[in-house]
Amino acid sequence: MSTPSCIARLLGVWYLVLDACNFCGCQTVILKSGVSRPSSVNGKAGRKICMAGLGKTLLKKIFSLGLIFNALISIATVAGILYAYYLSYPAWQPYKPYLLSASLFWFALAAAAINIFHSAAIGRVLHIHRVLFHHYVYAIFAIILTSVYVVFFTPVSLHTLFFVDDSSVAVNVGRVFMLGSIALLLDDLPDVSKYMESSLNWLKTQACRVKMMLHVSQFVTGIFAFYCSLSILFSTIQNSTRAVPNSFVIVSLFITGITSFALVKRRSWLNLTPPEPQVPKLFA
């Protein structure tokens, strides 16, 4: 099977997964207990359908968090490459001759940033019932614990965590937990405060005004993310001394590119609608 055919099939599968997640969110309702179940079902069969609906909701939430986490990995790894290119090693020409210029990584970084919005939106259609606190509380707590771990138990400082060339287990553990905590925080960001929610609604309103530009930008930046992934792959095949650390960048940028194409195919930005106006509490 040719490479373009494989890519086309992979894109089709990824699109079906995204579409299935969107479909699951339209088939269930949320109860006060936080458990999602289809309406008008009773008895044992109803409980089975309820559990199935809850399982789909959890899978959808995990998938959403996974996409956010992958986008953050892309941003962090690309930021490290750009930092090394511009500041640490100015004469470095990474992944030559396959990569035309390291400056193209800016487009890959933009692709990951653009994907975060709709990646988070997938998991916000249904809300998982919180345990004691909102999810963002646990995310902030995890960020604090991870920061303490990095400061006291790794050889790198907190502000250089993603900018140093260190592939030790201790440092990578800190990176994974930091990005995972940030992903959980971004997923629950609207619940942090009313001000945060209104700010995000304002950003969404502005995005609706330029959604065609965002639609095109997502496609273009996705191409560059995919190209950067292949460039690193071919360079690593030629020189496998950094195969393990490079593999994270290759896979992450590949998923970022495929996600961009799938979201473009779904016309996610073009289907974006402005947030509904908030009803004053006096009349709610």
Which pLDDT value is given to residue 18?
55
* pLDDT band, very low/low/confident/very high, at 167 (cuts 50, 70, 90): confident
Distance CA 254, CA 257 (A): 5
30 strand-pairing partners: 36
Which pLDDT value is given to residue 43?
57
- Greater confidence, 94 or 4? 94
* pLDDT band, very low/low/confident/very high, at 82 (cuts 50, 70, 90): very high
pLDDT at 41 > cutoff 60: no
Judge if the upstream peptide bond of residue 97 is cis by omega within 30 degrees of 0: yes
What average pLDDT does the structure give for the chain?
A: 81
Show me where the domains of the chain are located: 3-274
